[in-house]
Amino acid sequence: MRIEDEIKGRFRNEYHKGLINLKYTTRQLSYEFNKSLKEHGLAEPQYNVLRILRGFSYEAPLSIGFIKERMLDKDSDVSRIIDRLFEKGLVSRIENPNDRRQKSIEITEKGLDLLDKMLKCELEVDTLLNNLTQTEVEDMNRLLDKIRLKE
């Protein structure tokens, strides 16, 4: 359905329409993704941290700064997210004896098991774009990368 019909609105120009369309679509996809995450008791930033920890486990333990640099949402309070994951037993954290502000973070077996159980969730998320061809997805990725270029 066209964005004009979805929100029953008009736009100043195609750039305005494109921005609103992008925001609307992103929120719609995010809503579907978050529904899947809630079934596993996770919020999106928590899932993001677990994926980072698993993806860089060969470099473990990781610092909070390292994790923050790789977060999708750069404004995330990574320390608080780590605290919540620690309470759930999904990550371990070790304080640096010389500087208590520094912590080394690793994903636990329980965290890895949870991500393994979430494979079905990840595959379902892949289907959110299944009405696009492989070429269209590649074009979309290229265009989104281009939007983020700074001149």
136 falls within a domain:
no
Q: Does 67 lie in the same domain as 29?
A: no
For the segment 53-77, the average pLDDT, to the nearest whole number, is 91
Q: Does 59 lie in the same domain as 109?
A: yes
Per-residue tokens: 133? 């061809």
Query: How many domains does the chain fold into?
Result: 2
What is the structure's pLDDT at 36? 84
Instruction: Write the pLDDT tens digit of every residue in 37-57.
Output: 898 999 999 999 999 999 999
Angle, CA 145 vertex, CA 142 and CA 150 arms, to 5°: 140
For residue 81, give the 3-state DSSP assignment: helix
Which range among 59-63, 82-86, 122-126 shows the weakest confidence by mean pLDDT?
122-126
pTM of the model: 0.84
Q: Does 74 lie in the same domain as 29?
A: no
Q: Does 87 lie in the same domain as 73?
A: yes
Instruction: Write the pLDDT tens digit of every residue in 77-90.
Output: 999 999 999 999 99
Q: What percent of the chain has a predicted confidence (pLDDT) above 70?
A: 96
Using CA atoms, how far residue 86 sits from 73, 79, 90, 92, in Å, is: 20, 10, 6, 6
Q: Is there a contact between 43 and 33 (Cβ–Cβ < 8 Å)?
A: no
112 falls within a domain:
yes
Angle, CA 15 vertex, CA 10 and CA 16 arms, to 5°: 40
Q: Is the pLDDT of residue 64 over 70?
A: yes
Q: Is the pLDDT of residue 150 over 80?
A: no
118 falls within a domain:
yes
CATH of the domain at 115: 1.10.10.10
Per-residue tokens: 7? 């929100």
Q: Does 75 lie in the same domain as 55?
A: yes
Q: Is there a contact between 115 and 132 (Cβ–Cβ < 8 Å)?
A: no
Q: Does 120 lie in the same domain as 47?
A: yes
Q: Domain residues for 23? A: 1-38
Contacts of 122 (CB under 8 A, 6+ apart): none
Q: Does 47 lie in the same domain as 34?
A: no
For the segment 114-141, the average pLDDT, to the nearest whole number, is 87
Q: Does 57 lie in the same domain as 29?
A: no
